[in-house]
């Protein structure tokens, strides 16, 4: 889809804070986060929603989600990590994506750039 923001990011036409990618998925920080470390996992192929995406791609997304959840827990120490996948009107960008939302007991303040540097350094 030519006007899809996530397709533009996959093609390198729009910037992103990419944390990981392979042939199937791209993992990036949300630039308008709901919490510190708000991460998105998107398939590189455009799928609209849960009804459209093949099960093997969902499986890969969930495999990567387990790894990213662990990274968020180790580096950011949230109280929990919530996974959300919206469909229909709740889906702001009409390209399947999984949100990983770290939740904190106390308010945590960090810029997306600071979070990216913390998560992506060894």
Domain containing 31 — which CATH number?
3.30.428.10
Average of per-residue pLDDT values in the chain: 95
Segment 19-34 shows an average pLDDT of 97
CA torsion sign for 119, 12, 14, 48 is: negative
Q: Return the structure tokens found at 15.
A: 């910037």
Q: What is the DSSP string of 15-30?
A: --EEEEE-SSEEEEE-
What's the domain range around 77? 5-120
Please tell me whether the overall predicted TM-score, pTM, comes out greater than 0.75 for this model.
yes
The two structure tokens encoding residue 18: 């990419």
The number of CA neighbours under 13 Å toward the Cβ of 122 is 0
Q: How many separate domains does the chain show? A: 1
Indicate which residues carry an active-site annotation: 97
pLDDT level of residue 121 (50, 70, 90 thresholds): confident
């Amino acid at each position: 889809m030519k006007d899809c923001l996530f397709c533009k990011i996959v093609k390198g036409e729009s910037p992103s804070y990419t944390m990981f990618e392979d042939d199937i998925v791209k993992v990036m920080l949300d630039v308008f986060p709901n919490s510190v470390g708000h991460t998105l996992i998107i398939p590189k192929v455009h799928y609209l929603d849960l009804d459209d995406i093949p099960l093997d791609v969902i499986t890969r997304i969930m495999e990567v989600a387990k790894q990213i959840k662990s990274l968020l827990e180790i580096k950011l120490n949230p109280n929990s990590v919530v996974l959300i996948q919206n469909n229909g009107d709740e889906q702001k960008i009409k390209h399947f994506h999984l949100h990983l939302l770290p939740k904190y007991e106390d308010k945590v303040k960090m810029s997306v750039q600071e979070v990216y540097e913390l998560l992506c350094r060894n």
